[in-house]
A and B are shown apart, each in its own frame.
Chain A
């Protein structure tokens, strides 16, 4: 777990301020940006994976049954998946 930036001392820094933990930005919750979220209707889903391929966050994951759903920790609610889904199996609903 990376220390939050306001706690990092100059001694904590790696040489040249190199970040040695690949992909540790995945600790950052971009999910609380969104004002709407995608709801996936598996009855309509044909498991094509288009939503997965077009998500700019790369946060749409395929579950064991082969259906797709957005990881709400990251989902920013852009609506691209909804727009591109071939069978209109995804709907955007307002975030509370």
Chain B
């Protein structure tokens, strides 16, 4: 990634197509992610949104936070609705029923709406090769319904349906690797991003809509409410996720892996986990297990990258 000067924020468009007045929790990392994504998308876009935090906080009748065309239908069909929109626009332009050009179709869903209930529709849309960008806002649980576990919940995290208790350490499975699943569909562009690295995120979004064909971006969304951390640490925790190697930032362009950042030495996972109440119950042994796995996965990733 290019080195940006500190004053770059002022070069970003001042337009907020995701209007303030939305009802996200204070310090919401996902709201920030959506805001940044919208800055990169511009006005010439149609957004398809799954049921979830961002949909609920932004669209309570009779209000909407969206200043771009936006549709929400159900929880698991975001990619399918996006497919219909993309195909409809293409055909109508071809048949001369529509003159607007270059409208980007962007699907937004949470980790639940992507790697669990929405996986089928996503897989179908990626396989069919529709020209759209799919963004997964990953806050690592079904946050909107009350912090229940999803397949994106990390190992050892305590959620309401994988709670830590006498007989359990919380989530007993490892986080599903959604970017790898997307990449396995042989699509032109897959990337991971984090709002703590805003320009990297916006550049990736811009790349995603410019690419012809399906693109998938997976964005880590820090959730102070669900992760049980102070609301002002959202950006710091996002940075630590990257610096510990727990959420590496990379791109996969036509099957070739490319790290967005590489660190000569990763910070220990405890730096990241000790700030969050959802990991508070973990024993040293479990933390060692997690550290071991993170190190292993990071090496595997760097080996894939050029």
Task: Spell out A's residues near B (CB within 8 Å).
Answer: 2-3, 5, 8, 17, 19, 21-30, 33-34, 46-50, 52-59, 62, 71, 74, 76-80, 82-84, 86, 92
Contact = CB atoms under 8 A, between A and B. Distances in A.
Sorted nearest first, the 4 A-B pairs with minimum C-beta distance are: A49-B9, A79-B232, A78-B27, A23-B19
Given A2-B62, A22-B67, A62-B10, A53 B234 contact: no
Contacts of A23: 17, 19, 21, 64-67
Contact of B59 (A19, A47, A77): A19
Nearest to A8: B62
A25 B27 contact: no
Given A19-B59, A19-B64, A52 B9 contact: yes
Nearest to B62: A2
Nearest to B58: A25
Nearest to B71: A18
Given A19-B64, A22-B67, A78-B231, A56 B21 contact: no
B236 interface: yes
A48 B232 contact: no
Interface string B226-252: 000011111110000000000000000
B64 A25 contact: yes
A57 B26 CA distance: 9
B63 A56 contact: no
B9 A30 contact: no
Nearest to A84: B235
B18 interface: yes
Does more than half of chain B's interface fall in helix, strand or loop, or is it mixed?
A: loop
B232 A78 contact: yes
B198 A54 contact: yes
B127 interface: no
Given A78-B27, A83-B232, A56 B10 contact: no
Given A30-B21, A56-B31, A78 B234 contact: yes
13 contacts: A21-B64, A23-B67, A25-B65, A26-B20, A26-B21, A48-B10, A52-B10, A53-B198, A57-B24, A58-B18, A71-B20, A76-B26, A83-B232
B1 to A, nearest CB: 16
A23 B30 CA distance: 18
Interface in B1-39: 6-10, 12, 14, 16-24, 26-29, 31-32, 35-36
Interface in B119-160: none
Nearest to B36: A53
B23 A30 contact: yes
Nearest to B198: A53
Nearest to A19: B64
A3 B9 CA distance: 36
B61 interface: yes
Contacts of B7: 47-49
A21 B62 CA distance: 9
Given A74-B20, A78-B26, A48 B9 contact: yes
A22 B21 contact: no
Nearest to A51: B9
B21 A28 contact: yes
A83 B236 CA distance: 8
Nearest to A50: B9
Instruction: From A50, A53, A83, name the one whose CB has the most chain B CB atoms within 10 angstroms.
Output: A53
Given A25-B63, A49-B10, A82 B232 contact: yes
A17 B6 CA distance: 44
Interface string B54-82: 00001111111111100000000000000
